[in-house]
Amino acid sequence: MSNISITDLRKSYGQVEVIHGVSLDIEPGEFVVFVGPSGCGKSTLLRMIAGLEDITDGDLEIGGTLMNDVEPAQRGIAMVFQSYALYPHMTVADNMSFGLRMAHAPKDEIDRKVKDAARILQLEPLLDRKPAALSGGQRQRVAIGRAIVRDPDVFLFDEPLSNLDAELRVEMRVQIAKLHRTLSNTMIYVTHDQTEAMTLADRIVVLRAGHIEQVGTPIELYEDPDNAFVAGFIGSPRMNFLNARANGPKSVEVAGRTIPLPNLTADLRDGTALQLGIRPEHLDATDGVRLMMDVDVAEDLGATTFVHGTVGGETLVAERRAHVGNAVRELEICFAPDKVRLFDPDGARVR
């Protein structure tokens, strides 16, 4: 179990810089998730930690030791790939023991470690099979097993569940969460799926275009986003953003209505253009600001309904824990002002 310390890490391909000075500290035993849209650099960052990509500038320390130029095999890490990367011509047992065999470890040690890992992941009946004879979920477990056998300080996961179908993904997510509880290793997990991030992480690192947008626990990111990007990325369905204008030190005007925001720390300048963020699930309050919404489409999922419509020309989505018939043309939405998140036109949070 090790801590990881990244200081001002940069990565360039030729003249093009893709990771711009990322700094981060990861505690031992922490489960950290790198999340962000495609191309944000989360995989690149992970691979730099693994040693599969060169570090152009900055420092990477694992367990207090500088690791910039150390071979991947020497960093005390193990990696689970998106495509599992299992050797097709070897059995499951051979796949898992590959590293130990290459290091000429004693046979009984190899057998013991493979058996232990197989037990944790319920792979015992599959040890003699080849990858082609396994299902996607089984292959993923073998990939994880191979990582466990290495007995690493840090586990790295590169979008491991992306190739599985939705149902299997939920099941595997639970398995990985349980694995963390059992092994207690430091784990870094990359995904583009914010649900995986929210459910698995101790802390989430939100990345965009090679920058860290925010680091925090899932709740911190949900409740207290630093900017509109994080607010919009975390939480499903996406937070609603409405155009607003300040009309008082602690109030804004949206769609013709004035909304008081007593919890604001700063004072607003009159007339400033702003964005008002409110999550769809918060539009179902019993007390608070009331607005009428013109309904376009109601998506009834059984237990929940997503109502798409407009308020004063602005599109928004409201969530209801009830059926809303398709004939409904207008819906009253109600929200508490303290659930509002305010952002300036550049996306920065106004607290």
Partner 1 sequence: MSEFTVGKRQRRLLWGISVPMALIALTCVYPVFFALNNALKSNREYILDRFGIVSEPTFQNFVQAWTRSNLSEYFFNSVVVTVLSVLALIIVSSLAGFALAVLRFPLRKLIFVVILASLMIPVQVVLVPFYKTIIGLGLLNTRAGLILSYTAFFLPFSVYLMTSFYSGLPRELVEAARIDGAKLTQVWWHVMLPMGMPALITLGILNTLYCWNDILISLLVLQDNRTLMVGIAALRGEYTTNVPLLTAGIVLAAAPIVILYLVFQRKIVSGIAVGAVKG
Partner 2 sequence: MGVSKTKQPLRKRGGKARSEERRFAFLFVMPALLLVVVFRIVPLIWGFVLSLTDARGVTEGAFIGFDNYAELARDPAFHDSMANTILLIATLPIWIMVPMLLAILIHQGVPGGKFYRAVYFFPATLSSVIVGSIFNVLLRNDGQLNQFLELFGIGAIDWLGNSNTALLSLIAVQLWATFGMSLLIFLAGLSTVPSDMIEAAKLEGASMLQTFWHVIIPTLRPIIEFVAVVTTIGVLTNMFGLIYVLTAGGPGTSTTLPEFLIWIELGRMNRPGYAAAISMVLFVLMAGIAYAQVRIMSRNVNV
Interface residues toward partner 1, by CB under 8 A:
50-52, 71-74, 77-79, 81-83, 85, 87-89, 98-99, 102-103, 146, 150
List the one residue from 55, 142, 205, 207 that touches partner 2 (CB under 8 A). Answer: 55
Residue 84 carries which side chain, given as an amino acid letter?
A: Y
Q: Is 68 helix (H, G, I), strand (E, B) or coil?
A: coil
* Binder of residue 165, out of partner 2, partner 1, none (CB less than 5 to 8 A by kind): none
Cβ within 8 Å of residue 242, ≥6 positions away: 254, 255, 275, 276, 277, 278, 311, 314, 316
Q: What DSSP string describes 123-138? A: -GGGTT--GGGS-HHH
Q: Residue 108: which of partner 1, partner 2, none does it interact with, CB under 5 to 8 A by kind? A: none
**Nearest of 238, 239, 237, 233 to residue 218 by alpha carbon:** 233
Q: State yes or no: residue 54 binds partner 2 (CB under 8 A).
A: yes
Query: How, if at all, do strands 305-311 and 314-320 pair?
Result: antiparallel
Q: What are phi and psi of 170, to 5 degrees?
A: -60, -45
The distance of closest approach from Cβ of residue 27 to partner 2 in the complex, given in angstroms and rounded to an integer, is 12
Q: Which is nearer to partner 1, 86 or 242 (CB)?
A: 86
User: What contacts 96, CB < 8 A, 6 or more positions away?
Assistant: 114, 117, 118, 142, 145, 146, 149
Of the candidate residues 69, 108, 167, 330, the single one contacting partner 2 (CB under 8 A) = 69
Which does residue 57 bind out of partner 1, partner 2, none, counting CB within 5 to 8 angstroms by kind?
A: partner 2
Q: Is residue 68 a contact residue for partner 2 (CB under 8 A)?
A: yes
| Site residue total, partner 2 (CB under 8 A) | 20
> What minimum distance in Å lies between the beta carbon of 132 and partner 1?
13
State the minimum distance, in angstroms, from the CB of residue 156 to partner 1: 9
Question: Which is closer to partner 1, CB of 142 or CB of 254?
Answer: 142
Query: CA 336 to CA 277: how far, in whole Å?
Result: 12
